[in-house]
Amino acid sequence: MCFTKDETNLMKRVATILITFLNLSLLSCDGDEISSKDLLKFDNVETLCDVLPPGDYSAVRFTSQNTAYTITNNGKIFKTVDGGNTWSQQNSGTEMHLYGMSFIDNLHGYIVGGDGDGVFLKTSDGGNTWLSTNFQAGLSSVYFINENIGFVAAGKKFLKTQDGGITWNEIDLGFFSYGGINFFDKKNGFLTAGNVILKTTDVGNNWEAIKDVLGNSSIKKIQIFNDIACLLSTGSKIFITFDRGVSWSSIEPPNMNSVYFINEHQAIGVAQRWPELGYFPNGILYLTNDGGRHWEEKYTIGVEEFYNIKDIDFSNDSTALAVGQTNRGCIIKLRF
């Protein structure tokens, strides 16, 4: 049987709609694929205070089961080797606002920051020493594939290194700002530029724009797991692809600073909560067991120690740490 060109194009559009609907249905299920014993619950949320100096902590990243790093808005780096119970400060050599981290193993890590000017920090000994490189623009995000190949978003420039950060070359993509970076593997990854998603299949040498997905949204975090990519927007949307960007679906959770998906059904989000009456906001936690259709919230019993909760990361599927702005040097430890 032969089809005309118009019929072929129509069939392709219908197939794309069906794929998108199927993906959205998977995310919006009522949780019946999660057994009751595996449901996420706020039963074991522990707030540990006075384990860090008071401050504004912008990100947290695990590198192993018990080892994690957190960074601040004034250049400080702290490391834990016991799952967050105690922390030691490391010498960053900068007072710039630190925004992003990327670790490829326990030894090799990269941190970026700065607003008017920027800084790139690198360790190859588990944070005992950090080497710094200064930039003429602030660096907002970083991702390294291996010890040699990495990328940074530097204001209006997107840069790539192939020698571990010694030299950097601009990849001119014609955009005015760049955001999150993450990879599925050593060749395939996503980059965001304003409200445009860019995709590479050749280790970042070339990037193809995926348009008309985000609308007016811009992206502040890209998480990739099990070949699924979840993009958290600055508004109240999370954009999700199950096929590396061929088709997309979206969910509309509460407005969050960061979210971490354990699997396609379960996730934990962190944010700032403003009471209906009053002038003093505090942190808030969210969780979902049905792919984001419903979110349970928690903002009491320790969470109120935070003015704002800014990031969360998991060491495995059952243990997480959350950080943010706190006057008592607190972190949140969650166990599921």
Residue 8 has pLDDT above 80, yes or no: no
Give the model's pLDDT for residue 21: 45
Which domains are assigned to the chain? 5-335 (2.130.10.10)
Query: Tens digit of pLDDT for each residue in 87-137?
Result: 999 999 999 999 999 999 999 999 999 999 999 999 999 999 999 999 999
How would residue 151 be classed by pLDDT, with cut points 50, 70 and 90?
A: very high
Place of tokens 């040498």: 205
- Are the C-beta atoms of 219 and 229 separated by less than 8 Å? no
Task: Give 230 or 299, the one with higher predicted confidence.
Answer: 230
Of the candidates 260, 258, 310, the one whose C-alpha atom is nearest the C-alpha of residue 283 is 310
End-to-end CA distance of the chain: 55
Give the model's pLDDT for residue 294: 96
SS3 166: coil
> Which amino acid type is present at position 284?
I
Q: Give the percent of the chain with pLDDT over 90.
A: 79
Of the candidates 50, 103, 102, 58, the one whose C-alpha atom is nearest the C-alpha of residue 76 is 58
